[in-house]
Structure 1
Amino acid sequence: MAIRHGTVLSSCDINSLVEITSRKTIKPSSPTPPHNRILNLSLVDQLMPSTLYGTILWFFPNHNASDFASKPSESTTRKSKRLQDSLSKTLVHFYPMAGQLKSPALVECNDEGAHFLEARVNCQLSDLLRQPNPELLDRLKALNDPETANVALGSTLLLVQISVFNCGGIVVAVSPSHKIADAASVLTFVQAWAAINRDDGALGQQLVPPEFIGGSLLPPRELSLPSIKGSLEIQSQSLVARRFVFDVSKVVSLKTKIGSVVQTFIPSTIQLVLAMILRCSIAASHQCKPESSIKPTVVSQMVSFRKRIIPEISENVMGNWFWTIPVLLKENETELHDLVSKMTQGVTEFRNEKASGFKGENGFLVVSESLRKSADIFNSNNIVNVYKTTSLCQLPLYEIDFGWEKPAWVTSLSVLKNIIVLVATKEQDGIEAWVTLDEKEMAIFESDQELLAFCSVNPSIGHSGLVQGFPRTMARI
């Protein structure tokens, strides 16, 4: 499968740009006590595939370029050594992330360690920020290193890669197994790591210790998963990942218009952006495959239920506290107001009727029933496409500071078919969307004038973190 691109760096051989210079195992700086050696995961964690890893990438320009130019090796070595030391100290508190997965619902906290890769990138960080290239971004993730994948995927629970550019800029890519962390958990871990690195190993007074209590809040159980007929995804020879940045001030103008149609609520900016992407994606699919226009589509939305459980689950509780909500869209339900209404209805019903039930022994019944209903949707309808969506817009990703000032850019992308990942821009005046589609569908999608009226295709990222060319407005997500 090829992931194509059309960026400044597209003429280069991406493989020659990135060189892995070291592969290490970082163990906790002190051993895990015997009473913490076994961790039972939650029922939701249990359902996660062992080879599924999520990655968030933080991009830090070098603000001391003159020092780096005079002694690049010394500067890089010093930062890398400090990151490794602080990671080791952080793993003392996040000890399961240094353990190994022994079964779908059990982690042995044996201090085997996290995989830590270092890489050199033979270009300037500004080259990447000028027009981000998905293939290059993929090479900055440890899970895409063949040697690491061969020895670590499916058992090791944390992969980290730091990539140093010719200018001294650094990208920190954190890839925990989805068996043990959702996006909020990833942020909790990185906040702690950054604080320890910044404070020369001292925890400080503001560091809230993580809690690994998922197995007690929602106990794992033997579960017979319902079967889903056929394949839900048409295999494609070539997928295209593209980045689109939506101007919030333009999207806001749609709220009143759509609200007057749906009447019962005013859609959020995130809902509208997602609905626009889906509408244009479905239209592109119908144009490429006319027969698909008479078949329904499914949108799977990832929805957090941390704050719906009573008492609510705080951000420092590790694990997965979200559920995937499938929404069936009939062939005549592709107008913007239809999409917004159907998706909002699905999320609202889940939050009001099901989310609080993901707890205790009753959680098993809620999970089982939710899985059965999802299987019914897929098995009783002739589905043509499944779009998977996730949003990180509400997370304070830009607050991370390892001691080199806050990042110029934070992103997360996946190259799976029909996946949409939303991330807020640094100033909260835009929503960045990574969209991966079939090549032919993407050619139609990225030329859609209705879409382009609200967004830019892969615009440059300024060192301040602002998207260049965007107006400084008061509109916020």
Structure 2
Amino acid sequence: MENSSSNKYYEIKLEKLNTILIKPSKPTPSHLQNFKLSLLDQLSPNIHGNTTFFYPNHNNINNNHNHFSDFINKSKILQNSLSQTLSHFYPLAGRLHDATTIHCNDEGVFFIESQTTTTLSEILTDPNFNTLECFLPTTEEKRNMLLLLRFTLFSCGSTAITISLTHKIVDFNTLIIFLDTWTTITTGNEFPLPDLTVAAALFPPREIPGMSGSVKTSDAKFTTRRFIFEASKIEELKTNIKNKIEFEFEFHPSRVEVVLALIWKCALSASIAVSGSKTTSFKRSILFQAVNLRTRMEPTVPETAVGNVVWPFWVTVEEESHVAIDEMVKRMRKGIMDFIENKAERFKEEGGFKVVMESLKERVEILKGNENEGSLVIYKCSSWCKFPLLEFDFGWGKPVWSCSVNNLVSNTIALMDTKDGGGVEAFVTLDEDEMKLFEQNEELLHYVLLNPTILI
């Protein structure tokens, strides 16, 4: 499959117009003002994840004055509905008090209005993650807030909405609940009520000596690229794998498994090539994958449960014979089966404390033996496939695209559905030198489109 991408960096100018403090429409009752974090929240870092949604302008208006007037009207609608939404997500308008508590004091969240002379089509013709980072709130704007939003007007009348939420109490499923509530309140429809109590009830907070939710960042320069796996190419990849794989029962690999295995294999190959003579033996590698526990427990946890109701399982390759796509897929399937059968249900026992501590000890043991610098390569993956990311309509149409910008750590893979629902869009973040080799890998290029234009 032919691929070409200049990955042009548009150095756009984003002008901040206003920063509005939005508070819940109703004050939080005194008995709810001390919100207890769950055990899994405790272990999550207090860093912001972000998602940006791009909304095209479908009005046949080419007048800048009308664009701005329309933008201001939309902004007021969003601010009003956000205030109502925060009354149901009141911890997000509070402040982190200590390791186990959020003080729900209704101090509010920042809603930032911005505009740019760039058009949406310029951004989406060749999406560049350095450019897309411009749409995020700055570090100074974040201060100690748990939630921030940026609403941006393009010169063509299109808009972008960026949601920046702390991982301390939010997993991806919680983001979806928040957006579902916010959009339905905005459009005047019935909205789902979030469940704020179930996470801490299932996973009570505990004292964990020596544990912190910090994230280790690297001084190395890293970069993110976007890859599209079309449905037909995924089916070809599945067929090739099924013809090679041997399993004890009829095995049908998922599209996430086959796409992830190919990315992992090619990324590891790039890492080994870059390190060259620095290592004397094969690089071991571990792939961590986040699992939504809501659907993996019996009885299932409500989808509306707010908080970090996720836990990772991991897959390892220890020798060169393991670095084949069919072998990697087989290991992934065995890994998730083992997790579901032997760990997921146990999270309900004593709030999951025992299984959490066992998992943390296992992780320490796996990471042992990495005395030779660079002899172990770790990757982390989140799959957002099947989440309705392009369905969130505030009253002026659905987004044409959404993305998440990772500016914190390297060696990450994020997967989401393509617009037609059958393919997979992958955001891969690697060290710059490794990315140069990764995006030229012939096996990868047979199956992917490298950063194709997003049609409005």
Give TM-score, length-normalised by structure 2. 0.92
Aligned residues: 439
Matched residues in 2 for 1:70 and 1:126: separation?
Answer: 20
Match for 1:297 among 285, 288, 294?
285
Matched residues in 2 for 1:67 and 1:32: separation?
Answer: 44
Q: Is the 8 A contact 2:202 2:351 kept in 1?
A: no
Residue 221 of structure 1 aligns with an amino acid whose one-letter code is: R
Q: SS at 1:261's partner residue?
A: coil
**2:235 is equivalent to residue 252 of structure 1:** yes
Correspondence 1:4-43 to 2 at 5 A: 6-8=6-8, 10=9, 12-14=10-12, 17-43=13-39
% identical equivalent positions: 37
Match for 1:443 among 436, 443, 446?
436
**2:366 is equivalent to residue 377 of structure 1:** yes
| Counterpart for residue 157 of structure 2 | 168
Deviations 1:76-124 (CA, angstroms, capped at 9, x unpaired): 1111111111100111111111111111221111111112112112210
CA-CA distance at 1:355 after TM superposition: 0.8
| Counterpart for residue 346 of structure 1 | 335
Q: Is the 8 A contact 2:233 2:447 kept in 1?
A: yes
CA-CA distance at 1:226 after TM superposition: 7.1
| Counterpart for residue 470 of structure 1 | none
**2:146 is equivalent to residue 146 of structure 1:** no
Q: Is the 8 A contact 1:159 1:174 kept in 2?
A: yes
Match for 2:451 among 446, 458, 461?
458
Residue 360 of structure 2 aligns with an amino acid whose one-letter code is: L
Greater alpha carbon shift after TM alignment, 28-37 vs 289-298: 289-298
Match for 1:281 among 224, 248, 267?
267
**2:319 is equivalent to residue 331 of structure 1:** yes
Q: Aligned Cα RMSD in Å?
A: 2.0
Q: Is the 8 A contact 1:65 1:168 kept in 2?
A: no
Matched residues in 2 for 1:419 and 1:443: separation?
Answer: 16
Which runs of 5 or more residues in structure 2 are unaligned? none
**2:411 is equivalent to residue 418 of structure 1:** yes
| Counterpart for residue 348 of structure 2 | 359
Matched residues in 2 for 1:68 and 1:106: separation?
Answer: 49
| Counterpart for residue 245 of structure 2 | 262
Question: CA, structure 1 residues 70+20, in 2 after alignment: closer, same or farther (shift >3 Å)?
Answer: closer
Match for 2:192 among 205, 208, 221?
208
Which runs of 5 or more residues in structure 1 are unaligned? 464-477
| Counterpart for residue 432 of structure 1 | 425
Residue 326 of structure 1 aligns with an amino acid whose one-letter code is: W
Matched residues in 2 for 1:67 and 1:359: separation?
Answer: 57
**2:186 is equivalent to residue 186 of structure 1:** no
Residue 16 of structure 2 aligns with an amino acid whose one-letter code is: I
Question: CA, structure 1 residues 110+257, in 2 after alignment: closer, same or farther (shift >3 Å)?
Answer: same
Q: Is the 8 A contact 1:39 1:108 kept in 2?
A: yes
CA-CA distance at 1:233 after TM superposition: 7.7
Question: CA, structure 1 residues 115+392, in 2 after alignment: closer, same or farther (shift >3 Å)?
Answer: same
CA-CA distance at 1:389 after TM superposition: 0.8
Matched residues in 1 for 2:367 and 2:386: separation?
Answer: 30
Give TM-score, length-normalised by structure 1. 0.88
**2:207 is equivalent to residue 222 of structure 1:** yes
